[in-house]
Structure 1
């Protein structure tokens, strides 16, 4: 298994019981860890390069072309965490390989890469 050193466990779906990984310091669901809105380089910080709606490197900018990349536990590329519906690698592109709910490579497909039994997805800036 390939080690990703600067990775953050990405919360892709919430369980009915509440938080998925509230105690993991690398989980976006932990408001005191990676999910902190005060973390200087955090994805949840609207003033950081990775969380600002105006940064080209941000997942919240719908026009960003350099959004963070997603990988699964085996190191397979799963697209870009992006709200850009026109980027071919965006998870928000409903017709793209990584955003389509019918694509086996998409995290939006519960029977493909987005399966709740498939393991963790990691964000790599």
Structure 2
């Protein structure tokens, strides 16, 4: 399976809320935005986002694969229940991008760097 296919399968796993299956895609320990964490903690972060945003779906807008690296611009069009990254969304629909970079090792995610466009959410809500 190509890295492109593995990454897309990982996103499907997230969309289907199969967080228990992340061992197929994520190492036992990873680095996330410079901090070491367990796969369980990483899964918990994503599960928390999914609980707070029930219609959260990971849509690939741009995808570049080079060697063991994946760069993606993910697009979200969703309705967070309460606050989102410090912005009081409270059930209003918002759309925003996440720019995320991964380093894979042995076919699984070893490092993640993520930047979410929170300013776009603020602008949409006039916050």
TM-score range, shorter chain: under 0.3
Give TM-score scaled by structure 1 length: 0.26
Give TM-score scaled by structure 2 length: 0.26
- Kindly name which structure, 1 or 2, has the bigger radius of gyration based on alpha carbons: 2
Q: Which has the higher contact order (CA 8 A, sep 6+)?
A: 2
- Greater share of residues in helix: 2
